[in-house]
Structure 1
Amino acid sequence: MGYAEKIIGFYKGEAPDHCGRQIDEIWQMSHFWLEHTHDYIQWLFPIPEAGRFNGFAPLLGAEEQAAFVSDEMLRGNQQHSLDVMLAFFGMVRKELNILPLPELNMREHIWLKRGGHNHQRISRIIRSLHLCHQTELAAAFQQAVEDIGTTQGVVSEQSVAYWRAAKNP
């Protein structure tokens, strides 16, 4: 099965990831699982480059990008994936507005601290949204993490620079 079939099949709920998980199963995982499992984010937010933690994840190519342009279901499911990750990060989406939840705090949401793998996940999410033709949503998410991360957390300028660059691949 080629990359296009893997990504599109996974996003349509017709094929599992490399561990046999369906997309809706990942959407239901606990925040603890989302934090400590490192091989799902590449499936939820594919990009053209291979990640360090999951050599089995498919790469996003031109064929997959074209599918996201023409298939509203794919875009809708990616938006649902974003909503899952937003809840994990302590945020919520209202259309194109991404807002912090009242319970967002540095103790429980470690992405608000310097460094860490969640900053890389955020870069991946921004880049994938952009490449999957959800540029307004990518920009809204990038702006939200930058604003929230620098006002309610101690996110480094280096992470913010990566986030800004991710929406302009």
Structure 2
Amino acid sequence: MSGSSAGHLHAYLAGSGRDGQGRLAADVLAFSDEELEAVHDYIQWLFPLTTRSAAQPHAPVLTQGEIDAIRADPRAAETLRKAEERIRRFYRNTAWWLTPYDHNHLRITRILHSLKLLAAPEDAQRFYRAILQLHEEAGSPVNRRSLRFWAQAAGEATP
């Protein structure tokens, strides 16, 4: 990660920083379901990881210092909680992702990894159980590979 992006993710999740498009986290959390589906550059900011995104290679990458700062900051923790809640609502409200293959399957894997890393394993497991329930209620349309990735990301037994 370049020095210019150090601290950007913490500031963004704490509510004072803006993403690469100039949006606050609150702006993204106010997106409609259609916007959440169509816009592809917000997920790396709301649910960052320590690895570079193949889909958005210019998105910042977490450092250990930022992970520690985000975990210690109640404002960042609150944004993560709101982001998880909003994205869970998005998946509950929509069926676009309930197909064998969909870009949202990658997003779900990212969200699970990020929650486990920045919030708590229990938060990732709660999100995983909610997604799995929606999947099962829809007749289990998601491919087994995605299901395995989700289980591993959440720290659950592989289906």
- Determine which of 121, 124, 127 is the counterpart of 1:141: 127
Structure 1 unmatched runs, 5+: 91-103
Q: Return the structure number with greater helix share.
A: 2
Equivalent positions of 1:16-31 (< 5 A) are 16-31=18-33
RMSD value, Cα: 1.6
Following TM superposition, by how much is the alpha carbon of 1:150 offset from its aligned partner in structure 2, in angstroms?
2.9
In 2, the alpha carbon distance for the partners of 1:66 and 1:13 equals 17
Percentage of pairs with the same residue: 30
- Give the letter aligned to residue 48 of structure 2: P
Q: Post-superposition shift, 1:67?
A: 1.6
What amino acid is aligned across from residue 8 of structure 1 in structure 2?
Answer: H
TM-score, normalised with respect to structure 1? 0.83
Distance 1:2 1:63 in 2: 14
AA of the residue aligned to 1:21: R
5+ residue gaps in structure 2?
Answer: none
Match of 1:126 in 2: 112
Equivalent-residue separation in structure 1 for 2:119 and 2:32 (angstroms): 28
Moved more, 57-66 or 124-133: 57-66
TM-score (norm 2): 0.88
Report deviation, 1:30. Answer: 1.3
Secondary structure of 1:17's aligned partner: coil
CA shift, 1:132, in A, is: 0.4
1:156 paired residue among 138, 143, 146: 143
Aligned residue pair count? 152
TM alignment of 1:57-72, pairs within 5 A: 57-72=59-74
